[in-house]
Structure 1
Amino acid sequence: MLAEPHHIRRAGVCSAPRRRRVRWLETGLVVGLASLFSASCAPEEPHHPENAIVLGTLLPFSGSESAIGRNLEQAMLLAVQDLNAAGGLDGRPFHLRTRDSHSSSERGLEGLLELLFTDQVRYLIGPEENRLAREIAREVKALDVFHMLPGYAAPAVARSEATGGWMRLAPSSFDVGCTLARIAFDEGIDTVNTLASRDDYNTTVSSEFTTHFAALGGRILPSVTFASGQHTYVSDIESAFGASAGRTLLASYPTAGSTIVTEWAVSGRPGTWFLGPALRTEVLLANIPTGALDGYVGVSPSLSLRSECRTTTEGPQAVDCTSGNAAAFIERFSSFWDGEAPLPAAHFYYDGVVLIAMGLAYAQAKSGVIPTSGHELHAIIRELNDPAHEAASWRDLPAALTKLRAGIPLRYVGAAAEYQFDDYGANRHYFMQLWTVDGDALVDLAPVAVSCFGGR
């Protein structure tokens, strides 16, 4: 295990079975891991300044998606640290309250309800799970809570509401499916199918991919869905590759994906893969035979800023991008967390925290009060990120907050993107990142343009 940074200390953890993780940050200091249990283990209540601005988040620290939870939390803790070091909200610190979704809809819903009704957070970030985000929509609207959705698997934002405020940061499954379909079509592939996990996000990616490919004139062969958590997927693999498609999209999370790839390699490696966004992680590579996926192409959100990219004359999707901004964030994250690297999704989670803080700071400067209405904050963040406004970088938050406190509107140039939102609160994306596998390493290829504007 990596050593904790010098500025981190963690409280003791009781071993009771129903554990809830709560982490918090006060005045720039990450303070402990608290646990609340049954009567057999005395509760350890979190302490934070009474005037702190509380941001609530639900992440998977246990269960099938546990590989990503800690990394995403680290990104948000870093954002809170940076904001508090820059003076917070006119002197008031930000505080992150985290609960565990357990990678479970039932237990995750319980955690979300606790954030809303027990912790009474007004600013909610996540969850990573698509289904949970949908299930909590009624409560978010009824309570008029602001709901930031940084994750890849977050539901689409495609309607306006009079109460509540939803903002989506990462590209949607529509963008992912469209890009993969265009790549397959441009490569001259005639037929495709999918092997997809039976969860909201991956089945939607699968559906968007086949729908767009059919619209381009390609032919769809029978696809296969599976339930994650199985001991073996041999029959699912045989069914998917028995169709002899020109390309098969593997749309799943890393735990199931690594088992599938391993069993596929053992069976003789039939067919050819496309790899879904959730598989772009070292966790997958650490649990498959080295070289099993060499040369297979995946797609994920581009972390190059729009200003770092330019189209070329080599083709309708060809883009030339640099990645200095993303590299700087990776260095910042790694130095803070003793060498750990952020997942691509972590860039968006960092930005989600900062976007909320910027909106609150600007609103307070203009009206003298901090908005608790999700609908109001939604409109303010959209207004701030007008392309005509002066840019403010994540690299210099003290300067950004100083100007916002003076009532100067700023658009945010974040760790993942230069943000520009549509009328519903979905960030506009213009490029996607292609990647491949080389041995035990993930290798970025050239980005491509998103050619399906007007999507969800």
Structure 2
Amino acid sequence: MLMRYLLIGAAFVEVLSFGTANAACTTTIGSVMSLTGSLGVLGQQIAKGAQLAVADLNSAGGVNGRTVSLALLDDQTTASVGVDAAKRLVDVQHVPAIVGALSSGVSAAILTSVATPAKVVLISPASTSPIFTELAKAGKTEGYWFRTTPSDTLQGVAMAKVAMDSGIKKAAVLYLNNAYGQGLSTEFANAFTKLGGTVTENVVYNPSQPSYRSEVNKAMSPAPDTLFLIGYPGDGTTIAREWISAGGPQNFLLPDGLESQDFVNDVGVKYMKNVHGTAAGSVTTPSLATFKQEYKAKFGELPTQAYIPNAYDGTVILGLAMEYARSADATAVRDSIRKVTDPKGEKIYAGTAQIKKAAQLLSQRKAIQYVGASGPLQFDAYGDINAPMLVWSVDSHGKVAPTGMVTVDQIAQLRKEIK
């Protein structure tokens, strides 16, 4: 199947070179993201985070004296396409690391079929399924897996809290039949019921169906207070419209995969007046302000959606790890990632000046702690991080907007309560 590079804006023409990893003066970082398909509307924005990181790395002098390039391929939100893209990056361009994928199902396929067997780092800004933790615990990732976003083990608990705080007692769940949907629906159902709520129906659906009327009808009986719809904008739009036309309550719980202004507009703002959403949150750090300023200068206003800062952070971490390792060898990069996020090290933030400072410290073999735009990134033994969960809704003007945060401590306390 034909793979294509994402064409990027003219602002990056001078700093992004799509040569191979063997080019004399270039180090290539691979990336597999959903630029089309059901996650395409989100993925096109997330990819800009990785592009901005490469621009900053190059403005700071590159990595180990070499220009950094980003080989960005489209997985079409499909596992088989994602695997083919990753194989191309590994076998043809010999990349030591890949930023991506976004869909948990795509990332799982790449991790097990390509990254781990080839001993290449895979760092995802958006794959939240608990399956990755289980794979790591079983020794099946060999330490090559990292993610800059929290697991749905956390999001499921946060969503249950948001639902209970909103007075919701009965929730129907419609979830996508992939690792993301399966994991999040399980975590939510467990937390929600233990907090006193009732899951009236838990209905799975497959992607790319022309209609979901059968699944919608099943989810509507017995009558719930709300629909927790787990999926992506393409199929999610169809399901939400059919739910509304069938007379379902216009009260929605929506996760990170549907934190999208396009999704809200396509369903119809007038139907989305009672939305309670969650997504990976960002601890406020100096990096976040810098990231927002740089993003606005290159791309315009930062959209209200998850994972753009996470893609930036994952890419910067790879560059810093290569700098620490003084090598683009994949295993050396893997072993250096925790070295550049060392809580005992000197704090380094986002932006060209800070990355340049990091390179100077690393050249002196000094410890650093990169504190990202998405927050402090402390990877545990399984490549996971802790992070707060953003709460979002649709405001009176029909705009997707943040409304609060479920903190790391709140999530931890709830997890103790529901065990």
TM superposition score category, shorter chain reference: 0.7 to 0.9
Return the letter of the residue paired with 2:336. I
Return the offset for 1:353: 0.7
Paired with 2:382 and 2:20, the residues of 1 have a C-alpha distance of 35
**CA offsets per residue over residues 75-127 of structure 1, 9 Å max, x none?**
21111111111011132111111122122222222111111112221111111
1:260 equivalent in structure 2:
239
Equivalent pair of 1:109/1:132 in contact (CA under 8 Å): yes
Paired with 1:292 and 1:356, the residues of 2 have a C-alpha distance of 42
1:384 to 340, 345, 349: 340
Q: Which has the higher helix share?
A: 2
Return the offset for 1:278: 0.8
2:5 equivalent in structure 1:
21
2:297 equivalent in structure 1:
335
Return the letter of the residue paired with 1:103. T
Return the offset for 1:295: 3.0
TM-score normalised by length of structure 1? 0.80
After superposition, the Cα gap between the structure-2 partners of 1:211 and 1:147, relative to the gap in structure 1 and judged at 3 Å, is: same
Q: Note the 1:97-136 alignment, pairs <5 A.
A: 97-136=71-110
1:432 to 377, 389, 396: 389
Paired with 1:18 and 1:232, the residues of 2 have a C-alpha distance of 29
After superposition, the Cα gap between the structure-2 partners of 1:267 and 1:247, relative to the gap in structure 1 and judged at 3 Å, is: closer
1:359 equivalent in structure 2:
321
Equivalent pair of 2:225/2:249 in contact (CA under 8 Å): no
Equivalent pair of 2:53/2:316 in contact (CA under 8 Å): yes
Return the letter of the residue paired with 1:59. M
Paired with 1:291 and 1:113, the residues of 2 have a C-alpha distance of 44
Paired with 1:50 and 1:64, the residues of 2 have a C-alpha distance of 38
Return the offset for 1:19: 4.9
TM-score normalised by length of structure 2? 0.87
Equivalent pair of 1:59/1:69 in contact (CA under 8 Å): yes
Return the offset for 1:188: 5.1
Paired with 1:230 and 1:240, the residues of 2 have a C-alpha distance of 17
1:156 equivalent in structure 2:
132
2:28 equivalent in structure 1:
54
Indicate yes or no: 2:380 matched with 1:401: no
1:93 equivalent in structure 2:
67
Equivalent pair of 1:48/1:95 in contact (CA under 8 Å): no
In structure 2, the gaps of 5 or more residues are none
Return the letter of the residue paired with 1:50. A
1:176 to 149, 155, 168: 155
Return the letter of the residue paired with 2:317. L
Return the letter of the residue paired with 2:314. G
**SS in structure 2 of the partner of residue 77 of structure 1:** helix
Return the offset for 1:287: 0.8
Paired with 1:204 and 1:181, the residues of 2 have a C-alpha distance of 14
Return the offset for 1:360: 1.5
Equivalent pair of 1:23/1:97 in contact (CA under 8 Å): no
**SS in structure 1 of the partner of residue 122 of structure 2:** strand
1:67 equivalent in structure 2:
41
1:216 to 195, 199, 216: 195
Paired with 2:132 and 2:141, the residues of 1 have a C-alpha distance of 18
Return the offset for 1:216: 3.0
After superposition, the Cα gap between the structure-2 partners of 1:371 and 1:332, relative to the gap in structure 1 and judged at 3 Å, is: closer
Return the letter of the residue paired with 1:254. P
Paired with 1:194 and 1:416, the residues of 2 have a C-alpha distance of 29
Return the offset for 1:304: 2.8
Return the letter of the residue paired with 1:299. T
The structure number with the bigger radius of gyration is 1
Paired with 1:326 and 1:168, the residues of 2 have a C-alpha distance of 18
Indicate yes or no: 2:212 matched with 1:233: yes
**CA offsets per residue over residues 151-182 of structure 1, 9 Å max, x none?**
14465334256845111110111111011122
1:13 equivalent in structure 2:
none
Paired with 1:89 and 1:332, the residues of 2 have a C-alpha distance of 20
Paired with 1:97 and 1:381, the residues of 2 have a C-alpha distance of 20
Return the letter of the residue paired with 2:402. D
2:260 equivalent in structure 1:
281
**SS in structure 1 of the partner of residue 394 of structure 2:** strand
**SS in structure 1 of the partner of residue 24 of structure 2:** coil
% identical aligned pairs: 24
**CA offsets per residue over residues 55-93 of structure 1, 9 Å max, x none?**
111122222222123222222111111111101113211
After superposition, the Cα gap between the structure-2 partners of 1:341 and 1:437, relative to the gap in structure 1 and judged at 3 Å, is: closer
**CA offsets per residue over residues 225-247 of structure 1, 9 Å max, x none?**
22222233333223212222233
Return the letter of the residue paired with 1:156. F
Equivalent pair of 1:245/1:271 in contact (CA under 8 Å): no
Paired with 2:12 and 2:65, the residues of 1 have a C-alpha distance of 12
Return the offset for 1:351: 0.6
**SS in structure 2 of the partner of residue 354 of structure 1:** helix
Equivalent pair of 2:283/2:376 in contact (CA under 8 Å): no
Equivalent pair of 2:304/2:401 in contact (CA under 8 Å): no
Count of residues in correspondence between the two structures: 405
**CA offsets per residue over residues 368-390 of structure 1, 9 Å max, x none?**
xx15143x433322233232222
